[in-house]
């Protein structure tokens, strides 16, 4: 009887291993959103660093305003 149980447990362990190696892991879909959150946070941090002395305002296409920081002009200049 103990032998039978041991065999069953071994089979169960093997099945679990196979499940972990399967491509459809429940953890996989959770990771990408976290990574994209990190990516979204990084540009904001980057904007502060190279924009020292400059406005650094970013336009829609990701360019940075080249006017001086706190420029009186209402429009930003991207060149």
Q: How far is the CB of 77 from Zn ion (least distance, A)?
A: 7
Q: How far is the CB of 65 from Zn ion (least distance, A)?
A: 3
| DSSP-assigned letters across all residues of the chain | -HHHHHHHHHHHHHHHHHHHHSS--SSGGGHHHHHHHHHHHHHHHHHHTTTTTB---B-TTS-B--SBTT-S-SS----
The smaller minimum CB distance to Zn ion, of residues 22 and 49, is found at 49
Q: How far is the CB of 41 from Zn ion (least distance, A)?
A: 22
Q: Where do contacts with Zn ion occur on this chain (CB under 5 A)?
A: 55, 57, 65, 67, 76
The smaller minimum CB distance to Zn ion, of residues 47 and 67, is found at 67
């Amino acid at each position: 009887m103990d032998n039978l149980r041991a065999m069953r447990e071994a089979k169960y362990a093997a099945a679990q291993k196979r499940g972990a190696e399967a491509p459809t892991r429940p953890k996989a879909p959770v990771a990408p959103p976290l990574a994209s959150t990190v990516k979204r946070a990084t540009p904001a941090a980057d904007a502060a660093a190279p924009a020292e002395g400059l406005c650094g305002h970013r336009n829609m296409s990701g360019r940075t305003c080249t006017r001086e920081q706190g420029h009186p002009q209402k429009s930003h200049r991207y060149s």
